[in-house]
Amino acid sequence: MGIHWTVYPNHHEASLAVADTISAVLIEKPACVLGLATGSTPLEVYAELARRHREEALDFGKATTVNLDEYIGLPPGHPQSYVHYMHEHLFRHINIDRDRTHLPNVHAADLSESANDFERLVESTGGVDLQLLGIGTNGHIGFNEPGAEEDSVTRVVDLAPGTIHSNSRFFESESDVPRRAITMGIATILRARKIVLLATGDSKAEAVAEAINGPISRDNPASFLQTHANVHFVLDSAAAVGLA
């Protein structure tokens, strides 16, 4: 076990490497289940997948997607909601069946029940073939902030103050950033057959080094990935400076 990692010269090259991995899964298993992430890191991956669909007929027609997380508290259709993000940056550019794209439903009356439903839905797909992750500067994966348990499943969580601050770049002010989300748990993520974590930029270097070389600890939720047999960190040189 242990985390296998590759360093690319820049964000662009790292993004192409991740697009290659996702394309390979789609070609080998057209009816695959892809676990997807949002945030700024995977934007170029999605743009490249859209290009490959358009120019090289990369086929999403039989694929299913499940997303890691969704903010609680934004009105339906809000431009910063993750369902909107996925539509804008990927789904509307490819031939995926929208009925097979899934994000946690944050507009249900009972949010805990909705989180449980999402956990069951992920299971009912037959399992995630490839889970794409980003990483927070505090080591979070999905919205599993420091303190998250290894056996956690999809649930309602509070965002860490640092995450609220960091994500305020997408909102008019920090007070507009949602305080809660529904996220897949650590155990949900670890059930994926293969996991690819993309991290670029020097702000991620410390969290990446701790995740790979540090102790397995709730202080850095990404360190739980050390227990998985098939994890690949795709890094640019800035995100890899803390690695020997």
Nearer to ligand F6R, 59 or 137 (CB): 137
Nearer to ligand F6R, 98 or 169 (CB): 169
- Cβ neighbors of 58 (< 8 A, separation 6 or more) are 23, 26, 27, 49, 52, 94
- The count of residues interacting with ligand F6R (CB under 6 A) is 14
Nearer to ligand F6R, 48 or 69 (CB): 69
- Cβ neighbors of 157 (< 8 A, separation 6 or more) are 143, 144, 145, 148, 180, 181, 182, 183
Q: Which of 69, 119, 210, 236 binds ligand F6R (CB under 6 A)?
A: 69
Which residue is closest to ligand F6R by CB?
Answer: 134
Among 48, 70, 129, 145, the active-site one is 145
Residues numbered 130-189 forming contacts with ligand F6R, rule: CB under 6 A: 134-136, 140-143
Q: Which of 25, 33, 50, 68 binds ligand F6R (CB under 6 A)?
A: 68
Nearer to ligand F6R, 59 or 146 (CB): 146
What is the sign of the dihedral through the CA atoms of 87, 93, 98 and 101?
negative
Give rounded-to-5 percent helix, strand, coil for the chain.
40, 20, 40
Q: Per CB under 6 A, does 192 bind ligand F6R? A: no
- Angle in degrees, CA 233, 238, 241, rounded to 5: 80
Least distance to ligand F6R, CB of residue 69, Å: 5
For residues 201 and 239, the answer to whether their CB atoms sit within 8 Å is yes
Residues numbered 22-61 forming contacts with ligand F6R, rule: CB under 6 A: 37-41
For residues 236 and 10, the answer to whether their CB atoms sit within 8 Å is yes
Residues numbered 77-136 forming contacts with ligand F6R, rule: CB under 6 A: 134-136
Q: For residues 46 and 2, what is the distance between their CA atoms, to the nearest angstrom? A: 27
Among 53, 89, 102, 138, the active-site one is 138
Q: Look up 232 and say whether it is catalytic.
A: no
CB atoms within 10 A of CB 76: 9
* 190 residue type, one letter: L
Nearer to ligand F6R, 134 or 185 (CB): 134
Least distance to ligand F6R, CB of residue 38, Å: 4
Please count the CA atoms within 13 angstroms of the CA of 25 that sit on its side-chain side.
Answer: 25
Among 11, 53, 102, 140, the active-site one is 140
Q: Look up 89 and say whether it is catalytic.
A: no
Catalytic residues: 69, 138, 140, 145
Sites of contact with ligand F6R (CB under 6 A): 37-41, 68-69, 134-136, 140-143
